[in-house]
Structures are given as structure tokens and as C-alpha cells.
């Protein structure tokens, strides 16, 4: 289609691209790229797909594979983040600055928070305006799949970790729209899977056909109660291109996500996994971790390998203080935290960037041990700790607030 607008009517310059708004339609934007002073038309077409990624030759790569970039959401919710999210924003800034040393970072910020994010973050970080209900990019941003040449996003359904059954807030409609918006922003096709409730923190893959998850989360009444375990497993295989799912029973004790896998277990490489661990038999976590260990050690991955499990010792129980609770707004007239409440602190909630393994730190004697173990398991990256208590108070940690974009 020929563009009737002349150069004087063109606007929206971005890099070497000019968007002609005179030609804009609801489902189509005409891009005009200037090459050697000549204008070339390029069609933009972000498709909403209803096919199966596995049938299309796409699969979910491991987090330890190379990344194009990472997505985060600037914290803002006052009943999640104490004192107006001020302390959390400083922790986010430290994390984002480190990630952006080796991969592209996009931070989504609400209209009213854009200036705060832009002022605090390095110039090399892209900040865009996008509405959200909270700041857990792992669970609301797309899960990306690849065919080795290009990537596509999966738009899962999101209901705030349990919907009206046991979800953490209502409404959640802004969060539920973010995955598709981000695919649109990146100009990547998007698989429509909103009928299936899933959060990114509930799945880990080794990139070679093996997935690990927990029954506590995926089989809970607040996710997909009308589906059987076998039906859910088939859905995971079809959407993520995996061949085998290893089901752990439960996640970290008192994890309000209903036991996300990313807080208790993760792949370090094919056939190698870390498991959150304690030797204290009086800790309720001991029984949970022991159960997970037995399952993992008696499992093989999709290629028939035994899984070598590395114990990642937990910090001593981390509990929220009365002062920290006072810094949180109430939700519907009720407090969101209780003084003395045990938080789901775990070193397993690390993020693997292109250059680093970024590990939560709690001011605990096991902080250094966690860094040492992960440095051994990731010799091609530098293990770096970030003090993350102000993220933990919100209900998650470093892995929960990040979502990687595979290299394409």
C-alpha cells in the first residue's frame, strides 16, 4: 500500500524508523525506513496465534542460555512495598544496573512513576510507560519460546496467584494484559493462552526437554481446577516444547504463591540442579526439602540422565518486623503482613544474566556459602549478591521480579 503522506507529515522517529500515523489502522502500522535517502515500506504485523508452539517448532530455552534482554516492572504498590516503595526502588535500581551491564533491560513504569524510574535508572536502561497492578514481571510478562532463530511470547492467564479462591489482590486486569502488550512492543508474535492460568515463577526448564514444577501450585484450586494433572502436563508440553515434567510436591514453606518452583529448585545446567535446603529437622522446611530431594534423586531428565542435586542452604528464618509492617498500607482495611510473619527467603530465587548469577542476600551466615556454591556451578559467570530484604517484604525476590528475553 502506498503512503500518501509526504515527509512533512511523518512523525514518531525511533532509531532509524519513522512511523506514518496518517496510515495507522487498529491492526496495522506502516513503518517507513530510510535507507540512503530512499523510503522503504515495511509491514508491521504482531500476530495473535492460536496454534501450538511445539507443533510450530518452538520451545522454552533454559534461563542459563544467552539472553537478548530482561523485563522488570517498577515497584509502586503501597500494600506490597513499604514506605511508598522507596527502599524497594533502591534495590531494584541496584539489580537493574547490574543486569544492564550484559543485556538489554526494559523497565515498565506507570504514568505516575515514569519520572521516578527514569531519574533513578542508568541511561542505557529503556523505561516505558505501561500500567500494572504490581511488579512481578516473572509472572505477568510473556514466557518466551524460540525456534533457534526467532522468539515468540506466550500470553498465559494471570489471576494474582489464585483468583477469587486465594489470590493476593483484586483486580488484576492490568497485569493480565501486560504479556500481550510487551509482545506488541517487541514486535513478536504472541500465543494466546489466557484460558490457562500460569505464572512464570511456577516453571523451570533445562532447555533440553525437561520441566520442573510443583503440585502445590499447578494443581491448586485457584489455578486450573477443571483440569487433571495429566491434562495440565500435556498443556505444558505443548506450549513449552518439553518432553518430560518432574513434579515436586511443595515449594518453600509459607510461600504465598502456593509454592512456586523458582523459590526452591532451579537448573544450573542440564542434569544439574540446586535445591533449597536446611539440616534443621525442627524447621517445617526440612520435610518439604527432603521430599523434593527424594523425588529429584529418583528421577531422570528427558534425555535419561540422573539429576545431580546440589543443596543450597537456606538462611535462618527471616521474619518481618513491626516497623516494616507499619510501613505497608492496608488492603481493603486489613494489614497485608503481621509482625513476626516468616517470609519465604531463599537463595534459589536468583537470576542468571549473560554475565552474572545475581543472588539474594539476607545478612545471614549462609550468604557467602550460597555465592560460593553458585560460582562453582556457573564458572562462566560471576556470582554477585544483592541485599534483597526490601524485595522480599513484597512477597518474592530477584527471580520473581525479572523475566528474561532469549537471544534472537
Mean pLDDT by 10 residues, the chain (408 residues): 36 36 37 53 81 98 98 97 96 98 98 98 98 98 97 98 96 98 97 98 98 98 98 98 98 97 98 98 98 98 98 98 96 94 98 98 98 98 98 98 97
pLDDT of residue 30: 40
Nearest 10 degrees: Cα torsion 130, 133, 136, 141? -50
One CATH from 3.75.10.10, 1.10.287.1080, 1.10.260.40, 3.40.50.880 for 48-406: 3.75.10.10
Cα 114 to Cα 101: distance, rounded to the nearest angstrom? 22
Determine the pLDDT at residue 39: 56
* Per-residue CA distances from 373 to 96, 239, 384, 405 (Å): 23, 32, 12, 26
Q: How far apart are CA 185 and CA 190, in angstroms?
A: 11
CA distances from 116 to 73, 112, 397 (A): 13, 8, 21
Those residues whose C-beta lies under 8 Å from the C-beta of residue 89, and which sit 6 or more positions away, are 74, 75, 116, 117, 120
Whole-number Å distance between alpha carbons of 78 and 338: 16
pLDDT, position 26: 36
In the chain, domain spans: 7-44, 48-406
Alpha-carbon distances, residue 219 vs 65, 203, 229, 399 (angstroms): 29, 13, 7, 22
What residues does 80 pair with on adjacent strands?
A: none
d(CA 401, CA 366): 23
Query: Known catalytic residues?
Result: 400
pLDDT at res. 10: 34
- Nearest to residue 402, comparing CAs of 341, 358, 371, 372? 358
Amino acid at each position: 500500500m502506498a503512503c500518501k503522506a509526504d515527509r512533512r507529515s511523518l512523525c514518531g522517529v525511533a532509531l532509524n524508523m519513522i512511523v506514518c500515523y496518517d496510515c495507522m489502522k487498529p491492526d496495522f502500522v506502516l513503518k517507513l525506513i530510510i535507507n540512503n535517502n530512499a523510503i522503504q515500506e515495511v509491514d508491521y504485523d504482531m500476530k495473535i496465534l492460536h496454534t501450538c508452539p511445539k507443533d510450530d517448532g518452538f520451545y522454552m530455552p533454559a534461563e542459563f542460555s544467552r539472553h537478548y534482554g530482561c523485563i522488570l516492572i517498577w515497584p509502586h504498590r503501597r500494600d506490597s512495598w513499604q514506605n511508598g516503595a522507596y527502599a524497594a526502588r533502591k534495590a531494584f535500581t541496584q539489580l537493574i544496573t547490574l543486569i544492564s551491564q550484559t543485556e538489554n533491560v526494559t523497565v515498565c513504569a506507570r504514568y505516575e512513576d515514569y519520572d521516578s524510574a527514569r531519574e533513578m535508572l542508568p541511561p542505557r536502561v529503556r523505561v516505558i510507560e505501561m500500567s500494572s497492578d504490581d511488579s512481578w514481571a516473572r509472572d505477568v510478562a510473556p514466557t518466551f519460546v524460540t525456534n533457534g532463530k526467532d522468539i515468540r511470547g506466550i500470553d498465559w492467564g494471570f489471576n494474582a496467584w489464585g483468583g477469587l479462591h486465594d489470590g493476593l489482590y483484586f483486580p488484576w486486569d492490568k497485569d493480565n494484559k501486560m504479556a500481550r502488550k510487551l509482545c506488541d512492543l517487541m514486535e513478536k508474535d504472541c500465543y494466546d493462552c489466557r484460558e490457562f492460568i500460569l505464572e512464570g515463577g511456577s516453571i523451570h526448564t533445562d532447555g533440553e526437554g525437561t520441566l520442573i514444577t510443583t503440585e502445590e501450585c499447578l494443581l491448586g484450586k485457584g489455578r486450573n481446577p477443571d483440569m487433571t494433572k495429566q491434562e495440565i502436563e500435556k498443556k505444558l508440553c505443548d506450549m513449552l516444547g518439553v518432553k518430560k515434567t518432574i513434579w515436586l510436591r511443595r515449594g518453600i514453606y509459607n510461600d504465598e504463591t502456593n509454592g512456586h518452583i523458582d523459590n526452591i529448585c532451579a537448573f544450573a545446567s542440564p542434569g544439574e540442579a540446586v535445591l533449597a535446603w536446611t539440616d534443621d529437622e525442627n524447621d517445617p522446611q526440612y520435610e518439604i526439602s527432603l521430599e523434593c530431594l527424594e523425588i529429584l534423586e529418583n528421577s531422570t531428565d528427558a534425555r535419561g540422565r540422573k539429576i545431580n542435586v546440589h543443596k543450597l542452604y537456606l538462611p535462618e528464618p527471616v521474619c518481618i518486623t513491626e516497623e516494616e509492617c507499619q510501613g505497608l498500607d492496608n488492603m481493603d482495611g486489613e494489614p497485608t503482613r503481621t509482625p513476626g510473619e516468616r517470609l519465604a527467603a531463599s537463595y534459589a530465587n536468583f537470576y542468571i544474566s549473560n554475565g552474572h548469577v545475581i543472588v539474594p542476600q539476607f545478612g545471614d551466615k549462609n550468604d557467602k556459602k550460597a555465592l560460593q556454591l553458585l560460582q562453582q556451578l556457573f564458572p562462566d559467570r560471576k556470582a554477585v549478591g544483592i541485599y534483597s530484604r526490601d524485595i522480599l517484604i513484597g512477597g518474592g525476590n530477584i527471580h520473581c521480579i525479572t523475566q528474561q528475553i532469549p537471544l534472537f
